[in-house]
Structure 1
Amino acid sequence: MITENQYFENNVKSLGYHTSEGKSTVGVINPGEYEFGTSNKEIMHVIEGELIALLPNTTEWQSIKAGQSFEVEKNSSFKVKANAQTAYLCQYR
C-alpha cells in the first residue's frame, strides 16, 4: 500500500511504502526551513538537490548534498533548510 503525506502547508510531500526492512518515504521538500520530530530512527538520503541540516546535539548547520545521507535517532528532532526543491528518501528503522 502506498500512502500520501503532506506537511508544512504542502511544502513537504512524500509517498510512503513498506519493504522487508521497514517503512520508507520518498518525497520533495520546497524551499524553506522545517523542523521534524522522530519516533523511529531515521536515515535521510538526499537524492537530488541539497539539504542544510541542524542535527540533534549539534550547533552548526551542515550541508547534505545529492548522494549523501544523515541519521537521526528516535525520539529526537532535527531541522532542515532547502534553498531549492530537494528530493529525498527517508528510511524509518
Structure 2
Amino acid sequence: MSEFTNVTVVKKANVFFGGNVVSRTVIFEDGTKKTLGFIQPGEYTFNTAAAEVMEILSGEMEVSIQGQAEKLIIKGEGVFDVPENSSFTMNVTAHADYICSFAK
C-alpha cells in the first residue's frame, strides 16, 4: 500500500534526539495509530510501552531488540517486531524512512 486513506493526521510533529528522528502520527477510522517518520544517521534507543511493528521503507541500519541475541541488518526495506515494555536500538548508517504501527 503506497498511501493511507480516510485518516486523521496530528499536526504537531514528534521530535526525538534533537531533531534527528521526526515523525507524524496518523490515526485510522478504527482508532489504530501509526507514525510516519524519518531518521538521520546515528544511534538511537527507543523504549516501548505497547508492542510495535517497525516497517523500514528505506535506509540502512543495525537493530538490537531487548531480549534478542541476534542483531538485524536492514539495507533498503525491512520489518521487525518489538515487544511491549521493551526497548530497541537502531544504529542507522543511511537515512531511513519508516512506519511504526502500534498495538491497540
- TM-score relative to the length of structure 1: 0.90
Give the number of aligned pairs.
Answer: 93
Question: Unaligned 5+ residue runs, structure 2?
Answer: 1-8
CA contact (8 A) 2:50 2:84 kept: yes
Distance 1:65 1:90 in 2: 17
User: Of 82, 86, 98, which aligns to 1:76?
Assistant: 86
Structure number with greater CO (CA < 8 Å, separation at least 6) is 1
Q: Which amino acid aligns with 2:34?
A: S
Give the Å deviation of 1:51.
Answer: 2.5
Aligned to 2:51: 41
Q: Which amino acid aligns with 2:56?
A: V
Instruction: Please tell me whether Structure 1 or Structure 2 has the larger radius of gyration of its CA atoms.
Output: 2
Q: Which runs of 4+ in 1 moved over 4 A?
A: none
**Could you give the per-residue CA deviations for residues 24-54 of structure 1, whole angstroms, max 9, x where no partner exists?**
0010010000000001110000011123100
CA contact (8 A) 1:55 1:61 kept: yes
Counterpart check, 1:17 vs 2:13: no
CA RMSD, Structure 1 to Structure 2 (Å): 1.4
CA contact (8 A) 1:51 1:63 kept: yes
